Amino acid sequence: MSEFDLAASSNTRPATRRMAVVLPRICRRLCLVLMAALVAGPVMADVQQADFDSIQLYTLKNSSGMEVSVTNFGAIITSIKVPDRDGKFDDVALGYDSVDKYINAVDKPYFGAVVGRYGNRIAEGTFKLDGQTYTLAKNNPPNHLHGGIIGFDKVVWNAETKSTDRGDAVVLRYTAKDMEEGYPGKLDVTVTYTLTNDNEIIIDYHATTTKATPVNLTQHTYFNLKGEGRGTILDHELLINAKRFTPVDETLIPTGELAPVSGTPFDFTEAKAIGRDIGQEHQQLKFGLGYDHNFVLDREGKGMALAARVHEPISGRVLEVTTTEPGVQFYCGNFLDGRLTGKSGQPYVHRGGFCLETQHFPDSPNQPEFPSTILRPGKAYETTTKWKFTVKE
Ligand code: GLA
């Protein structure tokens, strides 16, 4: 087996499983990347060789045979195997068969990763908090994206597995230093992935801080419900539980407006094929190169609410996303262009996967009208998102 060969390790052993790996070559390469980053930024993640020696793969399997694999590098979900309407299992999450590929492609697609400390964009990489101005990396010029140069998707997390009443779980922990990537406060983060016997993946996020700081954690899995690498997702039928969305400028920063979706290509209040209106002449579709927008979820109060439901007609697979978050970024793989080859050897074509990133709205630290993303000492950041997989006959 090659270094961290995820494909070779996905056997059918039941329940939770751990696998140690050795990564000398990868570490050397990554260390070079990290050293370059160290020269560029203020405080960076403190990455030690020992951390990379501890990268592992964990596979959860439930009573109906559904399997989810997770690595503690970037808290990445590397595969999700779910049945179609005939009971045939396919892997519906885009990703790679080796950690080497995740490391070398990390700054591009964020396949399967937890992104943070602030998922999505912060305008011009700067924000003011309690009278002080903070400067972040403009890693998506002219803006800051997904936590910066070494965001939570590129660090090694501590991981453990546990059995709970809801199902087996992988618990991942990471402590970001005060001023890491320019953000104030030492942030202790825990992300728990639980696989239930009802074919649900529950993602619980928890964080505490030593200083006031923006926090917006999300999960960046790209789905293709036909199976990863099987063409585009344009024929998937999508419903988004949102009558409004947050239009953006040409750099994908919200203008501040909560605009109605009605009468626009952004109306997914009734299920329609993702590709149906994507080619329409619409300035927002031009800015996003397709859909890459935050939707304002229709919800009553706090608690879990429907974010989106996706149905793929050929396999019959359905994914339902519920969340405690106020928004969801619907991104349909506009930046994929066939150059990245996935774990089954197939190219990831343009719009070959979609993401439903449950979140607070982009650029909230600079937009006082948006729900606040500021976490203060003594308070806990707690959010939950659930992905439920079913089939439609
Ligand atoms: C998010 C962003 C997109 C893109 C992807 C990663 O979804 O909104 O613009 O950066 O991440 O490619």
For a pocket test of ligand 1, which of 115, 143, 144, 146 has the largest count of ligand atoms closer than 8 A to its C-beta?
146
Quote the ligand 1 centre to 335 CA distance (angstroms).
8
Q: Does an H or E element contain 60, and which?
A: strand 56-61
Residue 208, both tokens: 């505490």
Residue 1: inside a domain: no
Residue 237: inside a domain: yes
In the DSSP assignment, the letter for residue 372 is: P
| Cβ contact 244:261 at 8 Å | yes
* 222 in a known ligand binding site: yes
> 67, 312, 357, 360: which one is catalytic?
357
Q: Write the pLDDT tens digit of every residue in 226-283.
A: 999 999 999 999 999 999 999 999 999 999 999 999 999 999 999 999 999 999 999 9
| Cβ contact 309:321 at 8 Å | yes
CA distance 178 to 117: 12
* 339 in a known ligand binding site: no
Quote the ligand 1 centre to 216 CA distance (angstroms).
14
pLDDT at position 122 is: 98
In the DSSP assignment, the letter for residue 346 is: -
CA distance 25 to 33: 13
Mean pLDDT, all residues of the chain: 90
pLDDT at position 43 is: 75
Q: Which of 35-44, 170-179, 305-314, 361-370 has the lowest mean pLDDT?
A: 35-44
Q: Which of 32-36, 47-51, 197-201, 286-290 has the lowest mean pLDDT?
A: 32-36
CA distance 13 to 9: 10
Q: Which string of DSSP letters, residue by residue, matches 304-320?
A: -EEEEEEE-TTT-EEEE
pLDDT at position 48 is: 66
* 85 in a known ligand binding site: no
Residue 344: inside a domain: yes
Quote the ligand 1 centre to 13 CA distance (angstroms).
34
- 220 catalytic? Reply is yes
Please name the residues in contact with 333: beta carbons below 8 A apart, sequence gap of 6 or more: 222, 233, 348, 350, 351, 352, 353, 354, 355
CA distance 311 to 373: 31
Query: What is the pTM for the complete model shown?
Result: 0.91
Residue 361, both tokens: 């709205």
State yes or no: pLDDT of 98 exceeds 80.
yes
Q: Does an H or E element contain 67, and which?
A: strand 67-71
> 144, 146, 220, 236: which one is catalytic?
220
Q: What confidence tier does 52 reach under pLDDT thresholds 50, 70, 90? A: confident
Residue 95, both tokens: 């990703």
State yes or no: pLDDT of 21 exceeds 50.
no
Q: What confidence tier does 312 reach under pLDDT thresholds 50, 70, 90? A: very high
Residue 137: inside a domain: yes
Residue 10: inside a domain: no
Quote the ligand 1 centre to 50 CA distance (angstroms).
30
In the DSSP assignment, the letter for residue 149 is: T
| Cβ contact 318:380 at 8 Å | no
Residue 377: inside a domain: yes
* 282 in a known ligand binding site: no
* 220 in a known ligand binding site: yes
Pocket around ligand 1 at a 6 A CB cut-off: 109-110, 120, 145, 252, 292, 329, 331, 335, 355, 357
Quote the ligand 1 centre to 285 CA distance (angstroms).
14
- 282 catalytic? Reply is no
Instruction: Count the domains in the chain.
Output: 1
Per residue in 18-43, is it b (16+ CB within 10 Å) or e — as a string?
Answer: ebebebeebbeebeebbeebbeebee
CATH number at residue 92: 2.70.98.10
Residue 362: inside a domain: yes
Residue ranges making up the domain that contains 132: 15-391
Residue 5: inside a domain: no
The alpha carbon torsion through 200, 353, 91, 170 (nearest 10 deg) reads: -50
For a pocket test of ligand 1, which of 107, 121, 335 has the largest count of ligand atoms closer than 8 A to its C-beta?
335
Mean pLDDT computed over 126-146: 98
Indicate left, alpha or beta for 7 from its phi (over 0: left) and psi (-120 to 50: alpha): alpha
Higher pLDDT pick, 108 / 119: 119
